Structure 1
Amino acid sequence: MDEQTAPAQQQYPSLNPYQGSDFNSTANTSTSTNGSAMGSLENAKNSAMNSKQYPSSSLHSTHPNHTPPPAAQQGMDSIKNSQTYQNINTGPVAEKARAETDATRNEFSNLAAAKQTPNTQAATGQNLTHYHSLFYNLLSWENPRATGISYAAIVIFIFATRYVPLVRYGLKASWVILGVMAAAEVAGKTLMGQGFASKLRPQKYYTVPRETLESVMEDLVELANFFVIEFQRIVFAENVYVTIGAFTTALITYFLVKITPAWGLALLFTTLAYFVPLAYLQNQELIDHHITNASNMVSQQTEQLRDIASQQTNKAVEASSSAFKTYGARASEMVGQAKQTAVDKGVVKQETADQMPGSTQAKPDDFPSAPTAVPQQDGAAESLTFADTKKEEQEPLLA
């Protein structure tokens, strides 16, 4: 009978962790395990009660008082022992999920550890911010899971702000919470003499630690400096290709802002910011090759234009010098002819005409010596007579 009882009772697992299928084996196991007489007596009592209720294994199938374990427990046991549950819990799917979770956690840790001031400096010799390293690590897809999750979070936030009235829901949640707390406090004081909100009130209100505020402010300062430095680097063409790209983007945005809503522009630029670096990294050799060829072509054309401009400048200088010389010779010739005409007409003397501009360079010997004696009256009269004669000769010309 004992040999038949054990297999029959194994069909219904017992909820008692110390109770086995056989009395003697259970009592001995419990005694040896616990080393306590009280445990043995308790197990013996339970076994006696079970044997009294079920004296024979044949009664398990025919005794009217026999009740199987609860259906819920039996269902849970069957689910736990099922192959599907085992596959989900310990199978490749669960292992894959745990591996992906660990990899994602590690990538976010690597992304957080990338917030370090880079060794590269700006063209002015200034140090960059640690957000330069963070955004480079993020947008270069060095941690693809973290980058993809951040992109998905931004896209979801853009659509949420577009289609979900977040401000309205926030205000609704505010008045609902405040109304419930006020009503609970009033009802509690009215019925029980103590408000419910007072019971929920903490012993000490939460305050933001000073260290947390300082760290947050430091991060905000670094983030602001990141945008300020990058704006100046783009404006002053530290990298001319980046400046050209920014110019193209600003030009396209100038026309798109007229027909595209703000959320559409935000979604577009977010997608470009995340996937343009990825496209560049996937085709870096090809893109760098074309950029190098374009740079060489631009350098060659620039050098050719510089040579042409230099040649044209030299020709223009030579032509200008020749023209100045030609016009200078003509002007000297015309001045010489005018002086000769004046001498021929007796307007001026030859010595005076030779000393006027337009003649050959005057020498010290060409100038008369200064008088040392007092001029005589006759000389003054002669000078006066010459002046009168000159005036008479000029009068017909003025007429």
Structure 2
Amino acid sequence: MSIPTTSSSSLCDLLTWKDPVQTGKVFGSIILGLVVFKAVNLINIFFHLSYIALLFSAAGEYAGKLVTGQGFVTKYKPSSKTYAKTINESVLPSIGRGIEKLEEEFQKIVYSHDIETTLKAAGLSYILYKITSWFSFFTLLATSVVLLFTVPVIYVKNKKEIDAAVAQYSKLAKDKTAEYTKLAQDAAAPHVKTLVEKSGPVGSFLQSKFPTRTAGSTVGDAKASKFEGVDVPTQSTASTTGSSKFPEVPTSSIKDDSTFEDLVEEAKAAGVKAADVEGEKISF
């Protein structure tokens, strides 16, 4: 659509003072309106003029009907145009869609559909609470207007320097935030550990919900395998983590001409040594 682009371009040109005369007129008019609104009670004046005009209208209509049989206001009123139909067809639908979108976003923030967005809104509300407690609404409105007509033109004239400064200080802020976050975690770790230990089963339950991986957590569980009635634990491919170690069967004592009985005797001897180390009894 060309209309939004033109409108955006016109607004940008207005705020960046591309046409100083036009921008000066708009800026001066807004400031003058704010000063008048601050100095004069416009609402009081509006209602004061309203009741006087309505009294004159009623008196003229009554006098005309009394003298000529037709009210003066009805007889001499100017032709009036109605704008309700235009507003209903063009303005109100846009306002309705905008309000619907605003309500949807408001519900997302209030009901925490996105926790990060809700926290940002809470932070912004706190900042606005502090600002509005220090300054009046009129002061904030006037300051916003002045900034609106000064910040864009300053940014356009010093774009490279401002972008470089923003990038530098953003990186510095991120580094400092990460540093302070790490320090806070390191400082809180002992207290959290103490709290978990003192809280008993509750702390153990909470700690189980946040498991920590260790070097031995990747070692597979030992599985028992059966070989001729002998329970021999299968050693994992990873290195053993316990203090015990299964002895290896000496191969140097097995000769080429050994019989089956000799092999059984060697296996029994190895089993006895394993039982002595592990404190278990292996039966054949």
TM-score by length of 2: 0.49
TM-score by length of 1: 0.37
Tell me which structure has the larger Cα radius of gyration.
Answer: 1
Q: Per chain length, whose mean CA-contact separation is higher, i.e. which structure has more relative contact order (CA < 8 Å, sep 6+)? A: 2
